[in-house]
Structure 1
Amino acid sequence: IGKGSKEKITLNIGGVRYETYSSTLRTFPGTKLCSLTEPHAPSIYDYDPTTKEFFFDRSAEIFSYVLNYYRTKHFHCPTDTCRSVLEEELAFWEINEAQLSSCCWLKLNKKEVQPEELNIWDENEQTDDQCLIVQTERRDFSWRTRWQPKIWSMFEKPFSSFSAKCLALVSLLFIVGIVIIFCEETKAQFEFFTANFSSSGHSELSHNDHDHYYHQAAYLLHLELLCVLWFTFEFSVRFCFCPDKKLFFQNPLNVVDFLSLFPVYIELFVAGQIQRMPSLGLWLGFVRVVYLLKLLKISKLIETPLILRVLSYTLKSILREICILLMILAFETLFFGSLFFYGELLGSHPSYTGELHIADILVCFWWALITLTTVGYGDIIPLTTFGQVTAALAAVFGMLTITIPIPIFLVKFKSYYDICFIPSHDLCPLVGRECR
């Protein structure tokens, strides 16, 4: 090994021989390759005096990029390199990753997958089981401890046993039944209110109208009560045997189950007064809309489609961007709504009759939101030139506000869509570079 700048050093990397000048290896002092130029290097590393070469059992493919880094001072990496493998090689040659060129850094980090992202599919499934294990460790082996996992699995995991399948089928029948009852009740209300308004022309209710309505919907109320009694039993058992009460109410479907119990019980409690308070019946009907949300529980009976799981985690990952988008949309609503309101006040139009066609600025906020989202109902239109210009600007800014975040959503969606295939690919036997 010579000491001059033109002296050559031979390296055998995994069976591939590389030859370079010692001055090239001194480009970055303090690294392993630089230490090969020291006089005591043969005694430290695997040096063959016969062939006069250093041997390292490392990746020859990556080392070629490492050697070029010493030559050009710009480190690039192969496009098909795994990040963990590259980090291991860089650490062996004592090269800082921060010196990676920007083009390759972007390519490498674009393919990077965080460890927590690989486990997103199993977190929710393991939560209940972990809670049951913790409770079993903390409590004595009582009857409740013995039966809690069985009963909880029977109500929450439809395919865990034959009894769980039967219970899920019964629950499904009650859910479908109460949705049908809800539709029939609204049909009865529609017929009742249509007849009332068409005959009298106002919202006053006569005694005969009440008798007609409640006589028609009485049997529906009894059937609805039967369904709600089942839901009450189901909700009570699930809540009593739930491993974690806090997590139980953090599930939106459980909140829906809880709210769906109130309308029938309230209607039975005030049965003697509801005929004198028709608005209460309408509000109870409004709350009954949660019956439709119970249809989401059907997802437990089938495997959740991949697209829905990916969409769920994508929305969670871009929650911050969604909040920023809503803030921008709220600002634009206030801004363009105010411009529209005062523009219509200050403007003039030949069709004006002296009455303002806009009630107040809150109506303008509604108009601005509908215009920004490019819906444009047409219930409120600008009559002045300034108002028309404001409407055009609002439509343009609305399209920009909505379309710009779409690429962010697509990138995240594709990332999670690729991640969901990693566990299955790890189990496939590899033949060359393809998983067959």
Structure 2
Amino acid sequence: MDAPNRRVVINVGGVRFETYASTLQTFPGTKLSNLAESTAYSTTDYDPQRNEFFFDRNPVVFGYVLDFYRTKHLHCSGDMCKSVLMEELNFWEVNSSQMSYCCWLKMNNMVSNLEDIGMWDEVSHHDQQLLVQTDRVDYGWRARWQPKVWTLFEMPFSSLISMCVAAVSLLFTIAAIVIFFEETKEHFVFVVANGTSDADIEYFSLKYEFDYRKVSYLLYLELVCILWFIFVFFIRFFFCPDKKKFMKNLLNWVDFISLFPVFVELMARGQVKPMDDLWMVLGFLRTSYILKLIRIILHIEGSLILRVLSGTLKAIMKEIFILLLVLAFEALFFATLEFYAECSEIGVNHESSVLGDIYASCWWAIITLTTVGYGDIYPVTTFGKIVSSLTAICGIMTIVIPIPILMIKFQHYYSIALAKEKLKNHRHKQQGL
């Protein structure tokens, strides 16, 4: 039998493959092409009784490699792990760049999914990672109580006591928010009378100033809530295994800021002169009471959707930036066009014009593009109304077009995150058996 027509038997992982020597010589210089040489019997694992070469490798990938020698087109299954495929191709000295376009796309999609799964692992196991202490050995009482106390305050569904602590924290948070809202009621506004005199007219008059001060019992009730917040915050900080990760969490900074307004107000209550600016600043700081509800929302089962939404926004940050650039361009363009459209018919300083300058036109353009339409600024000329209509249409198209991108991304990431959650729950059940 001629050498090119000689059959060669290759046993890969217990699976026997048979082909012609001419097929193995399709790509000279590779590992398989060397099997067609006479020296292969002494340099490789050759069984003379079975007349076959043996390789303890993956037989599935070798089938793809052998088909590549037959057809000169490298195809692979879409469910094949890329790292395994690359390792086997390197062993058989096949360049991965020879892979067909269709299979290359499938492999790239698989890599993207793996990266997404890794991202959800990082987000969902953030709190669990805080329980792991590294590079430190501590056998004191703090080390014994640390996992228990941290779990007590961070994982409300881990035990009945944890649920009670979470319920108490929720009640104090709601109470602080209600007190914060109650201080804005009209019957809690004090009127301060300042007596002044006028030497020329010789009479005494009173000037009334409004001083927004909270009544005492509300302030002390708020103080009780803050004392609970202080207790929880410092317990969590003291028993947190990783202080750096604790400080990087924005919600912990929100908890820290919420501790100060009530004490500042207690110290400032003795001032006779009204301090409206201070009360306004304290009011802004007290909005942190509302932000504290985010931590409670993240602890419920629906937090998966919030994590997916956050990850989706991060994934499409480039698209969002481009959308903002387009909106900025449209706002500047239509603002300028609208301003001169109005001026062309009624003039710049006409009393019926509501567009004082291009800055006011920019405000009008943004409100119109986003389809809000406050109605404080509106066109009065025919040409201006035409430009206004075009602005609204462009705004609708600009905002509506990116919505499918967001929905597709969200659905993709949510399916991955949901699969990971199901896998985690399944592993917990298996460990409990």
Structure 1 length normalisation: TM-score? Answer: 0.75
Q: Distance in 2 between matches of 1:159 and 1:219?
A: 34
Per the alignment, residue 124 of structure 1 pairs with 126
Shift of 1:41: 2.0
Equivalent pairs counted in the alignment come to 408
Shift of 1:44: 3.5
State whether structure 2 residue 355 is matched by structure 1 residue 358.
yes
Q: Kindly report the root-mean-square deviation, in angstroms, between the aligned alpha carbons of the 2 structures.
A: 4.1
Q: Distance in 2 between matches of 1:290 and 1:311?
A: 22
Q: Distance in 2 between matches of 1:363 and 1:191?
A: 38
* Matching of residues 149-188 of structure 1 within 5 Å: 151-158=149-156, 164-186=162-184, 188=185
Which of 267, 270, 274 is 2:268 aligned to?
270
In the alignment, which residue of structure 2 is the partner of 1:294? Answer: 292
Specify the code of the residue in structure 2 equivalent to 1:170. Answer: V
Instruction: Determine the C-alpha separation between the residues in 2 that align with 1:280 and 1:428.
Output: 54
Partner amino acid, structure 2, of 1:129 = L
Identity %: 47
Contact 1:157 1:300 survives alignment (8 Å): no
Q: Work out which of the residue numbers 342, 365, 368 in structure 2 matches 1:368.
A: 365
Q: Which of 298, 310, 313 is residue 312 of structure 1 equivalent to?
A: 310
Secondary structure in 2 aligned to 1:109?
helix
Relative to structure 1, the CA distance from residue 74 to residue 419 in structure 2 (aligned partners, 3 Å threshold; closer, same or farther) is: farther
Quote the offset at 1:248 in angstroms. Answer: 2.8
Mark the CA change 1:14 to 1:250 in structure 2 (over 3 Å): closer, same or farther: closer
Answer yes or no: is the 8 Å Cα contact 1:349–1:383 preserved in 2. no
Deviation of 1:9 after TM superposition, in Å, equals 3.7
Question: Residue 376 of structure 1 aligns to a residue in which SS?
Answer: coil
Aligned pair partner of 1:389 in 355, 367, 387: 387
Answer yes or no: is the 8 Å Cα contact 1:46–1:54 preserved in 2: yes
Post-superposition Cα deviations, 1:139-194, rounded to whole Å, max 9, x if no partner, equal: x76666666555544433445666544433322211111122233333x149979x
Q: Distance in 1 between matches of 2:164 and 2:259?
A: 23
Amino acid of the structure 1 residue aligned with 2:221 = L
8 Å contact kept, 1:154–1:164: yes
Match of 2:76 in 1: 77
Structure 1, 388-397 or 100-109: larger mean CA deviation: 388-397
The gaps in structure 2 that reach 5 residues or longer are 191-205, 428-433
Cα distance change of structure 1 residues 375 and 32 upon mapping to structure 2, 3 Å threshold? farther
Q: Which residue of 2 aligns with 1:248?
A: 246
> Do the aligned partners of 2:9 and 2:18 also contact (CA within 8 Å) in 1?
yes
In structure 2, the CA distance between the partners of 1:221 and 1:78, relative to structure 1 (3 Å rule), is same
Distance 1:330 1:246, change over 3 A: farther
C-alpha contact 1:339 1:390 (8 A) present in aligned 2: no
Q: Distance in 1 between matches of 2:283 and 2:314?
A: 32
Alignment counterpart, residue 376 of structure 2, candidates 371, 379, 382? 379
- Tell me, in whole angstroms, the C-alpha distance in 2 between the residues paired with 1:323 and 1:377: 25
* Alpha carbons of structure 1 residues 109 and 141: separation in structure 2 relative to 1, 3 Å: same
Closer/same/farther in 2, CA of residues 233 and 99 from structure 1, 3 Å limit? same
* SS of residue in 1 equivalent to 2:221: helix
Return the alpha-carbon distance in structure 2 between the equivalents of residues 392 and 425 of structure 1. 51
Paired residues of 1:274 and 1:280 also in contact (CA < 8 A): no
* Stretches of structure 1 lacking an aligned partner (at least 5 in a row): 194-204, 430-436
Distance in 1, Cα, partners of 2:279 & 2:226: 17
Cα distance, 1:2–1:366 mapped onto 2, change above 3 Å: farther
Contact 1:382 1:391 in 2 (8 A): no
Contact kept, 8 Å, 2:308 with 2:417, in 1: the verdict is no
CA distance in 1, matches of 2:316, 2:322: 10
Q: Which residue pairs with 2:220 in the alignment?
A: 222
Aligned to 1:432: none
Is the Cα–Cα contact under 8 Å of residues 369 and 391 in structure 2 kept in the other structure?
no
- Partner of residue 198, structure 1: none
Q: Partner of 2:402 in structure 1?
A: 404
Conservation of the 8 A alpha-carbon contact between 2:30 and 2:92: yes
